[in-house]
Amino acid sequence: MEAIQNKQLLNVAAAIHTDIVIVGYGPVGAALAVYLGKLGISAVVIEKNLDILQMPRAIALDNEALRVLQQIGLSEDSFEKIIINKVQMYCPFLGKFAEINTSGYIDELPKLVTFYQPDLERALREKLATYNNVQVLSGSEFLSFEEQSDSLHVLIKDPKGFKQIIQTRYLIGADGASSKIRSAIGMDFKGESYIEDWLIVDAKNRAGKAIDHVEFTCDPNRPTPHMPAPGGRERWEFMLQGNETREEMERPEKIQELLKPWINGQDLEIERQAVYRFHARCCDHFQKGNVFLVGDAAHITPPFVGQGLVAGLRDIANLGWKLKAALNSKKAAVLLESYDMERRPHARKMIHLAKGMGMVVMPDNAFKAIATHGLIQMLSKFPLTKPYLTDLKFKPQIKYNAGFFQQRKKGFKTHSYQFEAGKQIAQIRLKDHQNNILKSDDCWGTNFTIISMGANIHDHVSLDLIRQWHEFGGKIFHLSAASNHTASTDFIDIDNQWALNPLKSFVVILRPDGIIYDVFEISKASPSIQTCIKQLA
């Protein structure tokens, strides 16, 4: 890695000053840039490509990813999606052995959708263009960085070959699996690569002909995931056999042969074909000093549960608000260290889940296929195990064991919901005084939020403490159940999911990413709010 030397010798232009530099303008880097734009933080994005790569890559998003996109300000109709209602799994010896129910909604959002990645990237870039505090330097290349006493000096090269220094507080590596930022801070990947290569085939002009769900043919000889995508697209993934080469598999006649069970050769229009090797890797740390890794730069997830891009979006939701808070906090180091503490264990859980699904999708032989698929088929029929296998109960929750929240021995339970510090709060429907029905995430701000259930918190804490809370941007809302709202109620919990508890009034302090910072009875409001203010000061 080239070091930054004397400015005259390098003919380096005068430094640009910004709060944050993001290297990489793929979907994760773009999503972080949009989030920082919304938060009002000055940032510069470095991207070597001049435009969006016009080819499908990532294809699936779950409700958690859609929620992040909602939180950073992307409108629901900003890019096209197909809602997937079921995932079916087939064994050549047993037939259909499992069906995962992905119909319906979690947190007021579809459980599973497919999408076309260039559409999402375009939507993110259009949204970013509405902010004037984030600058994108396309066609520029990251070269190196140096740590100074109070800043980082990032050296880049522009499209004409001229060098430029950017002086910044924080540097973010969103530059993918072969990240230069990860190499620069000496964070090696730990994990494994699968020995098998896969051919990905994306066909177009399949409107009205493509399947309407996701299916996995879990054949030891040729595992094949298959799914639709927006814009009349359809995708197949074929595992290569031991004697097959990349060149052979990408030939048109070979692709026609593989797709013959689904498509007549005359109807075949290929948008992309490429051979990949899947990886299951994760860094030992997602942070070194004031340098952070997000997305594929920090972790790579096998595609069997569609969590690759989703994990990157979880990263930026966790990190973005912390960067803003750290810029004005004397305790920035403690706050920022919680990013790795919270995100890395969850990312590893998702990698383990994907690896487990990989064992189901690609069994080594007929015996393993019959044993594994037969066990899943049997367990899917028992009442105790059926929801775990068929209703997405196997997916790890966003619930942290350690991080930036108050660790209490117990949470607080209403008649239908368990509040716990370190857990992502559900998204529910609320009604305001104008009778508008809103998603709860759209009601909170981009800073910390106090939500009082039952009694109004203004009646239990001093005006001075309320003033201190508002001074650093915190918001306060009073929620009531549909049956007992008053003039002081800001929002009505119309489905009585949170606020209905006739015995106790309680308070939730919510982080900007929807993680519960603390939950407590309203009698303990003053000391709990003071603790939060001190931690953020």
The candidate with the shortest Cα–Cα distance to 313, out of 54, 57, 58, 15, is: 58
Contact 478, 490 (CB under 8 A): yes
Q: What is the pLDDT of residue 9?
A: 40
How far apart are alpha carbons 104 and 416 in whole angstroms?
19
- Cβ atoms within 10 Å, residue 455: 19
Tokens of 112: 């599973």
Q: What is the pLDDT of residue 230?
A: 96
Q: Which sign does the torsion angle of CA 305, 309, 315, 316 carry?
A: negative
Q: What is the pLDDT of residue 503?
A: 65
**DSSP state at residue 266:** G
Contact 292, 29 (CB under 8 A): no
**Continuous segment of H or E residues that includes residue 105:** strand 105-106
Angstrom CA distances, 55 to 137, 204, 395, stand at: 22, 11, 29
Beta bridge partners, 423, equal 399
Segment 9-67, tens digit of pLDDT: 445 666 899 999 999 999 999 999 999 999 999 999 999 999 998 888 899 999 999 99
- Give the strands of the sheet with 449-453, arranged side by side: 437-439, 429-431, 491-493, 475-481, 449-453, 506-510, 516-521
Which stretches of the chain drop beneath a pLDDT of 50?
A: 1-3, 5-10
Three-state DSSP state, 230: coil
Contact 349, 311 (CB under 8 A): no
**DSSP state at residue 263:** -
The candidate with the shortest Cα–Cα distance to 278, out of 328, 370, 351, 378, is: 351
Segment 137-168, tens digit of pLDDT: 999 999 999 998 889 999 999 999 999 999 99
How far apart are alpha carbons 219 and 360 in whole angstroms?
10
How far apart are alpha carbons 213 and 229 in whole angstroms?
10
Beta bridge partners, 449, equal 475, 510
Contact 20, 42 (CB under 8 A): yes
Tokens of 403: 């991080």
Contact 126, 31 (CB under 8 A): no
Structural domains of the chain in order of their starting residue, each with its CATH number: 7-78+116-188+282-349 (3.50.50.60), 412-536 (3.40.30.10)
How far apart are alpha carbons 335 and 231 in whole angstroms?
42
Q: How far is CA 158 from the centre of its chain?
A: 30
Three-state DSSP state, 168: strand
Q: What is the pLDDT of residue 414?
A: 78
The candidate with the shortest Cα–Cα distance to 361, out of 371, 373, 344, is: 373
Contact 493, 482 (CB under 8 A): yes
Nearby residues of 274 by Cβ (< 8 Å), 6 or more positions away = 199, 200, 250
3-state secondary structure 500-521: CCCCCCEEEEECCCCEEEEEEE
**Continuous segment of H or E residues that includes residue 375:** helix 366-379
Q: Which sign does the torsion angle of CA 371, 374, 380, 381 carry?
A: negative
Q: What is the pLDDT of residue 195?
A: 74
Q: What is the pLDDT of residue 14?
A: 65
